[in-house]
Copies of this chain bind each other. A is one copy, B any other.
Amino acid sequence: MSSKPARFTLSELSGRFALRAQGDGGRAVTGVGTLDGAGPDDLAFLANPAYRAQLQHSRAGIVVLRADDAAAFPGNCLLADDPYVAFARIASLFDRRPLPAPGIHERAVVHPGTVLGADVYIGPGAVVGADCTLGDRCSIGPNCVLGHGCSLGPDVRLVANVSLGDGVRLGARVLVHPGAVIGADGFGLVLAGDHWEKVPQLGSVVVGDDCEVGANSCIDRGAIGDTVLEEDVRIDNLCQVGHNCYIGAHTALAGMVGIAGSTRIGKYCMFAGRSGVHGHIEIADRVTVAAQSMVKKSITEPGTTWASGIPVRPLREWQRILGHLNQIESSVKRLRALERSNAETRDDD
C-alpha cells in the first residue's frame, strides 16, 4: 500500500467519535486487531459477552467496550453503547486502500451522449455506453462495462470487471464488487411446441441508495417492469436475484442466496448463506431465514425466523437416517396398525 499509515490518540478518537475515554489520552494506535490478536499499537473492541474473558489478557493499546465492561478494566478504552458500530467507524480511519483519483483514463471508452458529474473516475478498459448519466464522484473501475442509458447517482463505485445492462439505475453511494452483473436478461422462456422461445426482458433494474452488491452476484432485469432494490439492501457474493423481484430496504442476503423471479421481500429481512426463495411469493418484513433453507411459500408474519437446513452427521449414521426416512411411510402405517390393535385389545378387555 502506498499511502501513509494512520495514527490516532485516545483523545483524538474520543473527540472525533464523541465517545467517553478512560485512561491515557496520549495513547496512540496505528491499526486495529481482535482482542486476542491486537498488539499495543492496535485498537480492539469487545461487543460479544462471550469474549469478555479475553479482555484481561488483551495487549490492545485501546479497547472499545460498553461502560459496564469498562468498570473493571484498567487499560485505555473508549465507552460506546454499541462497541461494534463504534469500532466499524473508527476502523475506517485505518483503511489505507487508496481510492482512484478523479479523471477519465485514456484507455477508457465513453460513448456519445453520456453526461458526467464532477470528479468522476473512469478506469482503463472501462466502457460506458451511450446516453448514460454518472453522478458526481462516481468511480467506474477498470474493465467495467455499462450498457446504454444507465443512470448512476453520486458516489457510486463499481470496483472492477462489473457489467451493467442497458438502462440500469443505481442510487447514491451504491457499491458493486468485481464481477457482479446487474441487468442481464431474466430467464424468460416459453415452450413453443417443440422448442424454447425467448420472452423479451423489457424492464431494467433499479437499485436504491446505499446498496451493496457482492462479487459475481447477479441481479436480472425485469421482463415487464423493473427489478427493484430499495435503499440499503446488502447482497453478498455469488447471489442471484431473479427478474421482477422487489427487495425491501435494509434487507441482507448472505453468500450464495438465490431469489427466484417476481418474489417480493420485505424490509429488514435476513437470508443466511445459500438459502433460497421460490418465485412469485411474498416475504413479510424482518423475516430471518437460516442457512441452506428453502422458502417455498409466502411468509406473512413479520419478524419470524425460519429454517429447513439439516446439519451433517457421520456418513454411516446419516445413511441409516436416510434409510429410515425412506421407510417413514411404512413406519407410520405400522404405528397406526399398533394403535388399532391396541384399541381392539382394550375393547376386548
* Residues of A in contact with B (beta carbons under 8 Å apart): 1-2, 31-34, 37, 82, 84-85, 87-89, 91-92, 94-95, 97-98, 105, 107, 109, 113, 123-125, 127, 130-131, 141-143, 145, 147-149, 159-161, 163, 165-167, 177-179, 181, 184-185, 187-192, 194-200, 202, 210, 212, 214-216, 218, 220, 224-225, 232, 234, 236-238, 240, 242, 250, 252, 254-256, 258, 260, 273-274, 276, 278, 289-297, 299, 304-315, 318-322, 324-329, 331-332, 334-335, 338-339, 341-342, 345-346
Contact = CB atoms under 8 A, between A and B. Distances in A.
Nearest to A293: B312
A159 B145 CA distance: 10
Contacts of A142: 109, 127, 145
A85 B250 CA distance: 38
Contacts of A31: 202
B2 A148 contact: yes
Given A109-B124, A178-B163, A240-B255, A305 B311 contact: no
A290 to B, nearest CB: 7
Given A145-B160, A177-B181, A200-B91, A305 B294 contact: no
Contact of A306 (B160, B216, B315, B328): B315
Contacts of A329: 320-321, 324
A310 B294 contact: yes
Nearest to A297: B311
26 contacts: A2-B148, A91-B199, A92-B200, A94-B202, A124-B127, A142-B145, A160-B163, A179-B216, A181-B215, A184-B215, A187-B236, A187-B237, A195-B250, A196-B234, A218-B237, A256-B256, A273-B276, A294-B309, A294-B310, A308-B310, A308-B313, A310-B310, A321-B326, A325-B328, A328-B328, A335-B338
